[in-house]
Amino acid sequence: MKLSRKQVQSKTHAIPELRFEDQKLTSFAGLFIFQLLFQRLDLKDRLRNCFRHLRSSRAYDLAMVVLGLIVHLLIGFRQLRDVRFYGDDPMVLRVLGLTRLPDVATVSRRLASADSDSVTSLRQLIRQMVLQALTALGLRRLTLDFDGSVIGTGRSAEGTAVGFNRKKKGQRSYYPLFCTIAQTGQVFDVFHRPGNVHDSKGAQEFILACINAVRAVLPGIQIEVRMDGAFFSDALVSLLSDLGVDFTISVPFERFVELKKKIESRRFWWHLNKDLSYFEFPWKPKKWNRRYRFLVVRTRSVIRDKGPIQLDLFVPHVYGFEFKVIVTNKKIRAREVIRFHNGRGAQEGVFAELKSQGQLDYVPTKTLAGNQIFLLSAVLAHNLNRDLQMTTREPSRETTPQRSPLWRFERLETLRLKLINRAGRLIQPQGRLTLSMSTNSAVQEELLHYRAKLEGAA
């Protein structure tokens, strides 16, 4: 329908005066859907069970602080002191079940009161919630990705250390090891470590614990594991083989002279496409007990000139090859093995979302346990966003060779812009509590859809 300029444009209006009044107005009306999700998952009681051993009789216990941190991160805030910007928001108070939010000092003290048992219990809760969602999916295969991610800080927090950091040399940091689920993009578990350890430090015990936790709940499922070259070792490869776990692990082939010679002397390569080629062979490195399947992948790429760039009309590209070696026990075709292993790059997307939108890279306190609790709260907020979409949407993909997530998930930032950060008013017409929002058909359709699905799944 064509509209005239007069129908569309209006005269410029004066800048309004500001007036602040105590009203039941909320900036986060979309938290309504997370309130339903929390009730469905019984999240408040499960958090209380995590910290029951602390026996706090104070107004704000650690369970309430953790739930507050989850909401704090869901609505898009980072630092603890940012709570002052929404401390009187009625929807936030209603979701938390409070009449008044704790101040920054109270939150800091509660985080400082956490102990190692609190961290262990919260990790167990995260695993339980992820496994609960996986049980409902009925998958035949489950893919676990393992990798570490640096969390730097400018303060001298307990448990931090100066480690290798290409961008910020000399910065103190943590270097936790993550286990993520490829099919759902959720974090299954986190093993916290100081920043000066190697990737493989404590990795074998952590990997074994994750595999055993999955098999205890899903005994018939086939587990697949993907890792980079930092985890490559005879002990880990043998352990995974003995457990019957399918794996692909990158090989730091620069350490093996014999392997380098095989690559340099190779004349015939099988081509996957114009840029990708490979060959494979069975091989047993020295001092290893068994022979395994090794794949050498060669990728044609542009060689970047590290010298000064000449501003000319034409700069010719020089092409060369990048090499990658993969060890695996999978029996499928080499093409599928390479695609499967390359799919682990999706884990970097999970880390990016956790840090940019879940504030995973923020270190709020000086105590180790308090920082661990905050990190696990960020993980819970991320997983709850995924759980919300998995509960209310049907899978949009079949299983792919790369093991891409079965849903096309909306990022937390997108969900905030569309639904969470919406103005609303809490009113009580005829004594019935009602959340009133401005008319918007798209928002109305989304919120009613979420409510119907969550109430139906309860």
- How big is the chain, counted in residues? 458
Q: What is the pLDDT of residue 181?
A: 97
d(CA 299, CA 280): 15
Highest mean pLDDT among 80-94, 147-161, 302-316: 80-94
Model confidence pLDDT, tens digit, residues 228-253: 998 999 999 999 999 999 999 999 88
Task: Quote the Cα angle for 213-215-216, to 5°.
Answer: 65
pLDDT given for residue 72 in this prediction: 96
Q: Decide: 68 and 43 in contact? Cβ < 8 Å.
A: no
- pLDDT greater than 60 at residue 313: no
* pLDDT tops 70 at residue 308: no
Kindly report the average pLDDT of the chain as a whole number.
89
At 312, is the pLDDT very low, low, confident or very high (cuts 50, 70, 90)? low
| Weakest mean pLDDT among 81-90, 211-220, 294-303 | 294-303
Element (H, E) at 64: helix 62-74
- Model pLDDT, residue 311: 58
**Residue-wise pLDDT tens digits, 47-62:** 999 998 887 667 889 9
Asked if residue 393 has pLDDT above 90, the reply is: yes
For the stretch 323-354, pLDDT in tens is: 899 999 999 999 999 999 999 999 999 999 99
Q: Would you say 229 and 249 are in contact if contact means Cβ atoms under 8 Å apart? A: yes
**At 200, is the pLDDT very low, low, confident or very high (cuts 50, 70, 90)?**
confident
Instruction: Identify the band that residue 133 occupies on the pLDDT scale cut at 50, 70 and 90.
Output: very high
pLDDT digits 0-9 by tens, 139-151: 999 999 999 999 9
Q: What is the pLDDT of residue 171?
A: 86
pLDDT category of residue 300 using cuts at 50, 70 and 90: confident
Residues 6+ apart with CB under 8 A from 134: 142, 181, 183, 184, 217, 218
Please report, in angstroms and rounded to a whole number, the separation of the first and last CA atoms in the chain.
43
User: What does the pLDDT read at residue 309?
Assistant: 60
pLDDT exceeds 90 at position 315 = no
248/339 Cα distance (integer angstroms): 11
Residue 317 has pLDDT above 70, yes or no: no
Percentage, residues of the chain above pLDDT 70: 94
* Nearest C-alpha neighbor of 122 from the set 49, 203, 215: 49
pLDDT value at residue 225: 97
217 pLDDT more than 90 = yes
2: confidence class by pLDDT, cuts 50, 70, 90: confident
Lowest mean pLDDT among 4-13, 152-161, 165-174: 4-13
| Res. 18: pLDDT tops 80 | no
Q: pLDDT tens across 242-282, in order?
A: 999 999 999 988 788 888 888 888 889 899 888 889 999 99
Q: pLDDT digits over 76-98, tens only?
A: 999 999 999 998 999 999 999 99
> Residue 261 class from Cβ within 10 Å (0-12 exposed, 13-18 middle, 19+ buried)?
exposed
